[in-house]
Amino acid sequence: MVKLRYAHIKSITEEDLAALKAPLEAADGKIRNKNGEGAEYTGWIDLPVNYDRDEFNRIKAAAELIRSNSDVLLVVGIGGSYLGARAVIEFLYSAYYNQIKKDAPEIYFIGNSFSGDELTQVLSLCEGKRISVNVVSKSGTTTESAVAFRLVRSYLEKRYTGEELKRRIFATTDKRAGALKELADKEGYECFVIPDDIGGRFSVLTAVGLLPIAASGADIDALMAGAAACREHLFAEGLGNAAYTYALLRNAFLQKGRTVEVLASYEPSFRYMGEWFKQLFGESEGKDKKGIFPSSVIFSSDLHSLGQFIQDGNPILFETVCRQVSASEEIAVPFDEQDTDNLNYLEGVSLNAINNKALLGTLLAHADGGTDSIIVEYEGKNEFSLGELIYFMFISCAASGYILGVNPFDQPGVEAYKKNMFALLGKPGSEKKRAELENRLNLLMLK
Ligand code: PA5
């Protein structure tokens, strides 16, 4: 079970927390009854116990097919349409998944930028290998992934034709509408559904995440079981549950001027979980000129870069440490006859034990520097434990957003850059906006 520990909290008083009790009760009601702001996007709440079993079995079958006939799986998607899958796969197998997993396809995530260099490099990695593609887009119109998919399709058409081409492309998209759904139906690609009531950043436990995750060989039954267990536990515990308490503390920190949350992990394989977390909380809370800016670090690496600021800089931060209780691998420091590096005092001590001391020492140092810390503890690097952690973060995020007074399930702010980009690219219908933007750019002497 995911647990919350209070490592050091000095900037918040009992009164601060008591003042947030009523907003928390209201948030709990909105989550349980699914009747708050954005209620139409709360399908993720019951998903771990209420998912479409037929679709789930189709996902497993497609994953098996990909594993049997492909050396490479290209996952085309951006934001909520790729971060969860990448986070889970790297959490379980590390960033070296592609080198480590010999019995599964290499997996590359594309369509999450407009970088021509990146796409070219990934396609060069596909040369001479058998490829499958999973294109993921709820709207079906997201430009980054649509452009990449067009390029990948044209690459694939040079390699495969007819039925063979068709059975190598899987589309995860809206049940009924959108450009991708239309294309998939026309071309006869197998389709998986992103439910109407689940937004991108809450979609990792739908086909969006599950197909690539299953293709990596991970146990998606255990992932769902972990989420279901967490759901049952949190709702049974009620207002005092750990996810709500985390939400409460975040809001209390914010009210004290701690506007930046540093999500820290001591496991490098947690890096993309940090990226996933940033999208989850950033898009859910950062609106109406409110919110905590979510950031993420990997310690001890980043203690050698951002550590100085966290210890000693502008006191705008609080730290949430994701701590793994049990390690998967053990490796110990060997004895050295010469001991030139003076490390023999560590002989036989495992790196995990050293990592833990680094965590404890850092907590105390940051406390001395005035940075408060919360610890979120998860069991280990396995699917069940990760399912629990994902669900824990979902509930915390929804509660935290409601306490803050925003709709945690919309993202009105992500449209602004798209409108400008389309106009600058000369999309038909945007001529007036294009002229206006080009004028502004001329004044800035930018082309
Ligand atoms: O959380 C979100 O809604 C976004 O990050 C989307 O997932 C992202 O913009 C991709 O959208 P789509 O799946 O429609 O291509």
Query: What's the 82 CA to ligand 1 centre distance in angstroms?
Result: 9
Alpha helices in 216-331, H assignment, sequence order: 220-237, 242-255, 271-285, 307-312
Q: Which of 75, 135, 139 to mutate for ligand 1's pocket (most ligand atoms within 8 Å of CB)? A: 139
**Residue 415 predicted with pLDDT over 90:** no
Q: Looking at ligand 1, which residue's alpha carbon is closest to its atom 3? A: 200
CATH number of this structure's domain 3-33+237-404, picked from the four choices 3.40.50.80, 3.90.550.10, 3.40.190.100, 3.40.50.10490: 3.40.50.10490
Residues taking part in catalysis: 283, 304, 418
pLDDT value of residue 30: 98
Given the CA of residue 80, which atom of ligand 1 is nearest to it?
7
The closest alpha carbon to 279, from 416, 78, 71, 52, belongs to 78
pLDDT tens-digit map of 212-244: 999 999 999 999 999 999 999 999 999 999 999
The percentage of the chain sitting over the pLDDT mark of 90, rounded to a whole number, equals 91
pLDDT value of residue 6: 85
Q: How confident is the model at residue 390 (pLDDT cuts 50, 70, 90)?
A: very high
Q: Looking at ligand 1, which residue's alpha carbon is closest to its atom 8? A: 79
pLDDT value of residue 378: 97
pLDDT value of residue 329: 84
Q: How confident is the model at residue 413 (pLDDT cuts 50, 70, 90)?
A: confident
Count of alpha carbons within 13 Å of 435, Cβ hemisphere only?
A: 3
Angle made by CA atoms 220, 223, 225, in degrees to the nearest 5? 110
Residues with CB under 6 A from ligand 1: 78-81, 137-139, 142, 145, 199-201, 283, 411
Domains 3-33+237-404 and 47-218 share a fold: yes
Query: What's the 377 CA to ligand 1 centre distance in angstroms?
Result: 29
Distance, CA of 173 to chain centre: 18
**Domain spans of the chain, in order of start:** 3-33+237-404, 47-218
Given the CA of residue 201, which atom of ligand 1 is nearest to it?
1
Q: Which of 110, 138, 180, 181 to mutate for ligand 1's pocket (most ligand atoms within 8 Å of CB)? A: 138
Cβ atoms of 132 and 76 closer than 8 Å: no
pLDDT tens-digit map of 292-347: 999 999 999 999 999 999 999 999 999 999 999 998 788 999 999 999 999 999 99
Using the 8-state DSSP alphabet, how is residue 332 labeled? B
Q: What is the mean pLDDT of residues 192-217?
A: 97
Query: What's the 18 CA to ligand 1 centre distance in angstroms?
Result: 36
Distance, CA of 202 to chain centre: 9
Query: What's the 202 CA to ligand 1 centre distance in angstroms?
Result: 10
Q: Looking at ligand 1, which residue's alpha carbon is closest to its atom 12? A: 137
Q: What is the mean pLDDT of residues 413-419?
A: 85
Alpha helices in 127-270, H assignment, sequence order: 143-159, 162-166, 179-187, 207-215, 220-237, 242-255
Given the CA of residue 77, which atom of ligand 1 is nearest to it?
15
pLDDT tens-digit map of 43-75: 999 999 999 999 999 999 999 999 999 999 999
Rounded-to-integer distance, Cα 437 and Cα 314, Å? 36
Q: Is 2.30.40.10 the CATH number for 47-218?
A: no
Cβ atoms of 372 and 11 closer than 8 Å: yes
Query: What's the 171 CA to ligand 1 centre distance in angstroms?
Result: 15
Phi, psi of 268 (to 5 degrees): -55, -30
Query: What's the 138 CA to ligand 1 centre distance in angstroms?
Result: 7
Q: Which of 78, 114, 180, 194 to mutate for ligand 1's pocket (most ligand atoms within 8 Å of CB)? A: 78
Cβ atoms of 107 and 126 closer than 8 Å: no
pLDDT value of residue 434: 92
Element (H, E) at 394: helix 383-404
